[in-house]
Amino acid sequence: MNRQLAMLAALGILAYVLISSIYTVSEVEQMIITQFGKPVGQPVTSAGLKVKVPFIQEINPIDKRVLEWDGSPSDMPTKDKLYISVDLFARWRFTDPLQYFLRLRDERSAQSRLDDILGSETRNAVAKHELIEIIRTTKDRVPLRDALLTEAELDMGSLVPIQKGRKQVEQEIFTAAAEKVRVFGIELLDIRFKRINYNESVRPKIYDRMISERRQIAERFLSEGNGEAARIRGNRVRDLNKIQSEAYRQVEEIRGVADAKATEIYARAYNQSPEAVAFYEFTRTMQAYKSIIAENTTLVLSTDSDLFKFLKGMSPDGNADFTRRAGSRP
């Protein structure tokens, strides 16, 4: 019985030793084997099942993939004394795991060292260039302009000339930082400006100045537009008055010709005989009565008036009311 227990214990110890001596390496990892805290041998970079000395040796995995560094926004001055907030990001990887392990030990330390190096090189590059050099991407970019703009207005959209541009500033930061991180077994693959903005303390003043400039431009265009609108309205009123005056003149000319023609026709019609002349005088007098005498009209006429001569021969029975209404006194 004791012998069986001893055999089971020996088998358990052997299994534990075998398990402790076997480890796996994935496709995205590489291993550093340490013995009493110091690296031994070369890094294990191939994936598969591996063997180590149990209890004495330990494995330290290191990522083989491309890693991301995302820095925090930091304020820094430009060459033209403008404080801006710069947010930078980078891509990197471990190329010499043994050197990295000896110098930094873990990925957290690597990230901290990248913070220091990239932050310092970014500050140096920004301090050597003006703001326009950091913001603009291309040196010879031509802005789009409306074809309706005048020559004077085209100057408003002209761009300030630059010498390098943002891409070359990024390249300067990359070149300087890549050389410094190489001693840690790290390869810097790429860096980019993620965001560039004015410092928080001066940002409201900058925005107010930009708004004021845009308002001045808008007010100038609005003033020019109002002046042009007033000129158009003035021309419209002038043209309308001219058209109305010309139309009135033509109407009066036509009316004068028509009246002359009508008078000529009436003269020919009523001058054919004394009876026609008397009839014409009678009809015109009746028309005058109609336009002069209303319901409450009072007329004071002399007996030799032309308006009264047709009333003198009226009988009292037939036109007594009309005579009183007309206010005549024979």
- Where in the chain are the domains? 2-63, 67-141+159-200, 202-270, 273-326
Write down the pLDDT at residue 149: 56
pTM of the full structure? 0.58
pLDDT in the model for residue 326: 39
Of 141, 121, 136, the closest CA to residue 196 belongs to: 136
What gap in Å lies between CA 98 and CA 114, rounded to an integer? 18
pLDDT at 321: 42
Q: Which two tokens stand for residue 12?
A: 């358990």
Nearest to 92 by CA among 122, 120, 62: 62
Q: How many CA atoms lie within 13 Å of 319's alpha carbon, on the beta-carbon side?
A: 11
The pair of structure tokens assigned to 220 is 């100038």
Please give the pLDDT value at position 324: 39
167: closest CA among 192, 132, 140?
192
The domain made up of 67-141+159-200 has a fold known as Tetrahydropterin Synthase; Chain A (3.30.479)
Residue 318: the pLDDT is 45
Place of tokens 């708004």: 211
pLDDT block averages, 10 residues each, the chain of length 330: 75 76 89 89 88 87 93 89 90 93 90 93 92 78 58 56 85 94 94 88 79 86 90 92 93 91 79 76 77 76 71 53 39
CB atoms within 10 A of CB 105: 12
- 3-state class (DSSP) for residue 34: strand
pLDDT of the residue at 151: 55
Listed in sequence order, the DSSP H helices in the chain are 2-21, 97-103, 107-127, 131-135, 151-154, 166-181, 203-270, 274-292, 309-312, 316-326
